[in-house]
Amino acid sequence: MSFLKVKGKDIVKENNEKIYLRGVSFGGWLNMENFITGYPGAESSVRKAIKEELGEKRYQAFFDSLLDSFITESDFEFLAEIGATVVRVPFNYRHFEDDMNPGEYKDDIFKYLDKVVELGKKYGIYIILDLHAAQGWQNAGWHSDNPKNISLLWDNKDYQDRVANLWQHIALRYKDEAFIAGYDLINEPDSPNMEKLNKFYKKVVKAIREVDQKHIIFLEGNHHSKDFEGLADPFDDNLAYSSHNYTPATHSARRYPGPVVEMDRATGSVYADKKWLEESLLERNDWIFKHQRPSWIGEFGALFDGAVNNPTPADGQRLKALKDQLDIFNKYDQHWTIWTYKDIGVQGLVVPKQESEYLKRIAGLDKIKRELGLDAWTARNHGFLQAETSKILKIVANSVATNLNDLSLDYSGEWFKKLGQRSICGTVSTMLSSIYAAQFIDLSEKEIKDMHEQAFKFENLEKREYLIEVLKNALK
């Protein structure tokens, strides 16, 4: 397999043959996420709780066996069978360095990254490495392993230097590895402005190019990969660009085509159909199209509320929207990776069986999380505590209106979202990390390993056949 490179708006092999990078993301593996594997809060918080509750040896057994079981050769064999040409591998900087010892790389993670590269070679699947959780947090989300809900990266030179140095360290190892399609510099940046983002991107690209001139570098839009206006014109011959294209039609719609509420709550209700989905893509990716560079939809996907083989009527409607979305992506020659490949039942192509020991042990906590709305992604601004949050904001709004005669603030939009994420999905979820850890306190190291293998090894999973069929058709 040859190195890939950018040629105008296309990605081509060394013989100039066009290739489309289309496949899945390995979300929840080397960067864990709460709704994907079932814990509350952020990865670093739950790791701390597991160590405190189970002790060092069982802590190591817990996470080693989870990582070893989550992705194996059987997963690659399956992905090759359905036609995937690429896998996006999100990773957390904490696998490489400790905050108390910045720049002292542990490199244990390379056994996993090397494994996916070798499996990619065997099954003809390219790999995109994605820094999903960066030093100093590039956004306030749980998916950045961010228990504080604040972003420090953009105003801190030390954090930015660490990101650049880490990428150089990774690029030095893989500079001659053709099965790596490229480097996704940072997931869903949320910089205060484009000037800071442009300076950061140029800094990191420069660090990589000092050791690796061959690989494609993917740059994501600002504000969670949605905004590109103001991004610096392409400053390297081998740059491609990535947007994330989540839509309420696949996220929360009850029927499709039909009315949906915009995910940012700013524009109210719209009528979602294939025409609207197409216009949304063209609007979001307009900057990329104008600059005639490759466009990669790094994330998109549907949320399913029913069991893996018993979808709700609304699940079927969201699947129809997803199919239309894929048709549109392919019409405009987009590269894409769906989010996400494997989880405990919300989005995955493959999921653990309900009778697995792991799911049985976390079942009670999962019900609590759903009832209270503790996972930001799946709660969709619902849950008992979200309802109580709205009462708090109404009290504040009433006090401001009564005492200052001021009714100008939109309490139902951004403030509702911030208070919910920081207090409910942040503080309360982190508080329950120890409760999650306690569900495994009676297990030996071997029992922990057996539990994870039963839950997450491909051979033991259920397939979401209706989703897989849609993807197979799009991958033809």
Kindly list the catalytic residues: 188, 299
Tokens matching residue 341: 């490949």
Tokens matching residue 362: 């976390």
CB 208 within 8 A of CB 242: no
Q: Which residues of 12-28 are buried (b: 16+ CB within 10 A; e: fewer)?
A: beeeeeebbbbbbbbbb
Compute the distance between CA of residue 421 and CA of residue 330 in angstroms, rounded to an integer: 35
Q: Which residues of 122-140 are buried (b: 16+ CB within 10 A; e: fewer)?
A: ebebbbbbbbbbbbbbbbb
Tokens matching residue 407: 């009714």
Here the contacts of 146-155 (C-beta below 8 Å, separation 24 or greater) are 146/42, 147/41, 147/42, 147/44, 147/45, 147/426, 147/430, 148/426, 149/421, 149/422, 149/426, 151/190, 153/200, 154/191, 154/192, 154/196, 154/197, 154/200, 155/192, 155/196
Query: What is the 3-state secondary structure of 40-81?
Result: CCCHHHHHHHHHHHHCHHHHHHHHHHHHHHHCCHHHHHHHHH
Compute the distance between CA of residue 291 and CA of residue 199 in angstroms, rounded to an integer: 19
The DSSP symbol for 190 reads -
Q: Which residues of 264-274 are buried (b: 16+ CB within 10 A; e: fewer)?
A: eeeeeeeebeb
Strands 10-12 and 5-7: antiparallel
Compute the distance between CA of residue 353 and CA of residue 464 in angstroms, rounded to an integer: 11
Closest to 89 (Cα-Cα) out of 65, 66, 124, 117: 117
Question: Could you give phi then psi for residue 377, rounded to 5 degrees?
Answer: -70, -45
Compute the distance between CA of residue 340 and CA of residue 377 in angstroms, rounded to an integer: 13
Strands 258-261 and 269-272: antiparallel
Tokens matching residue 157: 């030179």
Compute the distance between CA of residue 203 and CA of residue 209 in angstroms, rounded to an integer: 10
Query: What is the 3-state secondary structure of 220-258?
Result: ECHHHHCECCCCCCCCCCCEEEEEECCCHHHHCCCCCCE
